[in-house]
Amino acid sequence: MSGALCGDKVAYFDCFSGISGDMILGALIDCGLELRRLQELLSGLKLSGYRLEAKKVSRYGLAGTDVQVVIEHDSPRQRHLPEIKEMIRQSDLPAPVKENSAAVFENLAAAEAEVHGVSIDEVHFHEVGAVDAIVDIVGCAGGLHLLRIGRLYCSPLPIGGGTVRSAHGLLPLPAPAVMQLLQRRRVPVYGRETRHELVTPTGAAIVTTLAAAFGPPPSIELEAVGYGSGKLDPGYANYLRIFTGSSASSSLFEQEPLQVIEANIDDLNPEIYGYLMERLFAEGAWDVYYTPVQMKKNRPAVKLTVLAPPQRLNRLVETVFYETSTMGLRVWGAQKFFRRRNTEIVETEWGPVRVKLVPDEAGGEGPLQYAVEYEDCSAIARRTGIPLKEIYRRVELSFRMKRRQASTEE
């Protein structure tokens, strides 16, 4: 599931010491988000029993902002996803904040459901259903909205070890739900020699829902840098660093690096190519395609081409060698140029479906370009038995009705 960030700015989460909900809030405030404006936005949630506090701190000689959600009375509530979504739906939050907050909770609930072997609506949000975690998630979505962040990128994530005590008992670190969230998005991770929880379920759910990509920083004209303090002492500054600014690329498109892998193969069983493509996509390839070629001595062959994110290059090269008969391949760097696009969530009778939109560069006069997310629709078709083309038709109808209603309200 992906959120629907709306704005003209870019943000990059540099998670050199991990990520959590309060670290994101602290870094956003350190970037210039006014605490008063965030508190006003959160008042639309109609959630009582807490107050939000922020203060400047220094950790290992580095200044930053520490945010705490202070619970004013004990409220060990266990909430289910439908209750949280209904709370968000009935709130006075801006529409994008509602959509992003609900998407984060849906993503987290799906991970918890898979880990515990229950349905998504049966998941008990223990710590995550508590007031402080709700404020963290909605506050992060609200902070990004107030700072006009339209596209979010995130660094690879450091993971520690050890155990943590939860409502389910003693769990290994990273927590099972965190691992499920990171695995589903194929997030690049690396180990740290620490017995601390560097990546929390809340932090993992936020970035795996809202981040467009994980890897190096994009081209950006820096406007602000903020440090959000965590509560750990791993022996160095426990901060999340956030860069914000304007994209350094054209207003029509963005760009990011990619790696191209190619191999000419003339002796592989044709039945293997379908499986090979599945494996490469599972390992994080952006695209895979085959081209018929004629090699020396006029031998017919297949040219394999894989478009790879830089952080997945080595794993994809290993997969090509492991799954094919090739003895060598070619790799070179390139640039990926792509139209700016946003994502909206359309509520349907089968649940939320993502729709990708290309922003109108003609001041509202140009045609609306959009595409319904295939993965969401195909999952519904498999689950319900309804033809995929009918799912597309109904989702597009719901999307157009939503857009017409929004334009009428304006």
Tell me how far apart the alpha carbons of residues 251 and 135 are, in angstroms, rounded to a whole number: 33
How many other CB atoms are there within 10 angstroms of residue 339's CB atom? 13
User: What pLDDT is attached to residue 357?
Assistant: 82
Which stretches does DSSP call E strand in 295-350?
300-308, 330-339, 342-348
Check if the beta carbon of residue 198 is closer than 8 Å to that of residue 17.
yes
User: What pLDDT is attached to residue 152?
Assistant: 93
- In this structure, what token pair is assigned to residue 237? 């500054």
User: What residue spans in the chain does CATH classification 3.10.20 cover?
Assistant: 342-409
User: What pLDDT is attached to residue 124?
Assistant: 64
User: What pLDDT is attached to residue 1?
Assistant: 43
CATH architecture of 254-339: 2-Layer Sandwich (3.30)
What are the CA-CA distances from residue 16 to residues 19, 141, 331, 403 (Å)? 9, 21, 29, 40
- In this structure, what token pair is assigned to residue 398? 């719901």
Burial of 275 (0-12, 13-18, 19+ CB in 10 A): exposed
CATH classification number, 342-409, choose in 3.10.20, 3.30.360, 2.40.50, 1.10.287? 3.10.20
User: What pLDDT is attached to residue 272?
Assistant: 96
The answer for residues whose C-beta is within 8 angstroms of residue 234's C-beta and 6 or more apart is 17, 160, 192, 194, 196, 198
User: What pLDDT is attached to residue 347?
Assistant: 85
Rg (CA), the chain: 23
Residue 113 phi, psi dihedral angles, 5° rounding: -65, -45
User: What residue spans in the chain does CATH classification 3.30.70.1380 cover?
Assistant: 254-339
Give pLDDT tens digits along the chain (410 positions).
Answer: 445 677 789 999 999 999 999 999 999 999 999 999 999 999 999 888 889 999 999 999 999 999 999 887 765 567 788 889 899 999 999 988 998 999 899 888 888 888 877 777 777 665 445 788 899 999 999 999 999 998 899 999 999 878 777 666 777 888 889 999 998 888 999 988 888 889 999 999 999 999 988 888 888 889 999 999 999 988 899 999 999 998 766 556 777 788 999 999 999 999 999 999 999 998 889 999 999 999 988 899 999 999 998 878 888 999 999 999 999 999 998 888 877 777 788 888 888 888 888 766 544 455 578 889 998 899 999 999 999 999 999 999 999 888 887 767 65
